[in-house]
Amino acid sequence: MNDLFASTAHAPGVHIGIGGWTYVPWRGGTFYPVGLVQRRELEFASQQLTSIEINGTYYGAQKPHIYTAWRDATPEGFVFSAKAPKRIVTARKLAGTGGQIDDFIDGIGHLGDRLGPLVWQFETGRTLDRDDLAEFLQLLPQQVNGRRQRHALEVRDPNCFDAELIALIRQHGIALVYTDSTDHPNAADLSADFVYARLMGSRDEHASGYPATELRQWAKHVHSWRAGKDVAELPHLTAPLAPAKPREVFLYFISAAKHRNPAAARALQALVDKN
């Protein structure tokens, strides 16, 4: 069993993973080895992948000791991202959620150096007031426990999804979440020194979720982002930027044919590491 937990070196500055780690169809050999006890699933997943997006934080906060246990179960260099609580992003007045943001940060900060970007997702049907959003963004901490804190924004309100939004989040160094979903607005405008992508198009007919040609294309995109280059062929709200400093990349396979997503993440990671 110990050999199953062995990890390998990966391309620096690239974090590829999945949403969550507790999912019954991943057990019994699909992703988790036959006989692996559930309490060791995070330990195994964090050796196979370089990052996991925590989705459960959207529905409720964990106790500090839980975050500490997650930190201790993962290897050096592994990072979590996490979705911010629903109670914050659905608040009528976002600018009034400072206390709730502080409570969330106080808890999840126990992940220590395993804490990566926080994702502030505004679902379909959530109408955003731009002035309220601007005040809200000023509440997001730039540091947590002395470490730099990154934030990513996923906006599904088409009336707010425009060039003005890009200008606003660039002021704060916040990344715009890119998705390949056909159900939500998406754009790959670069607005921070890191990139955050959520791929939501895995299909059951492909063992690795995506066909090999698409995974190779995503590997090219990852290398471009990592090299500081914009990916002009992806949809944009503003003109693509000129090449700049290298960017850290966070990419997750989310929902769709969810049972295929660990294989998709590992396949893409292998392609990125190879090149």
Residue 1 has pLDDT above 50, yes or no: no
Tokens coding 61: 């906060």
Q: What is the pLDDT of residue 275?
A: 78
Task: Work out the percent of the chain whose per-residue pLDDT is above 90.
Answer: 94
Dihedral (CA of 16, 253, 217, 116) sign: negative
Q: What is the pLDDT of residue 7?
A: 58
DSSP string, 203-223: -TTSTTSS-HHHHHHHHHHHH
Assigned fold of 2-274: TIM Barrel (3.20.20)
Chain segment 76-110, per-residue pLDDT in tens = 999 999 999 999 999 999 999 999 999 999 999 99
Tokens coding 54: 């925590």
Chain segment 202-241, per-residue pLDDT in tens = 999 999 999 999 999 999 999 999 999 999 999 999 999 9
Check: CB of residue 152 under 8 Å from CB of residue 177: yes
pTM over 0.85, yes/no: yes
Residue 147 has pLDDT above 90, yes or no: yes
Q: What is the mean pLDDT of residues 9-34?
A: 95
Binned at pLDDT 50, 70 and 90, residue 8 comes out as low
In whole angstroms, what is the distance from residue 36 CA to residue 221 CA?
Answer: 35
Q: What is the mean pLDDT of residues 30-51?
A: 97
H helices within the chain, ranges in order?
Answer: 41-48, 64-72, 86-89, 98-108, 130-137, 163-172, 212-226, 261-274
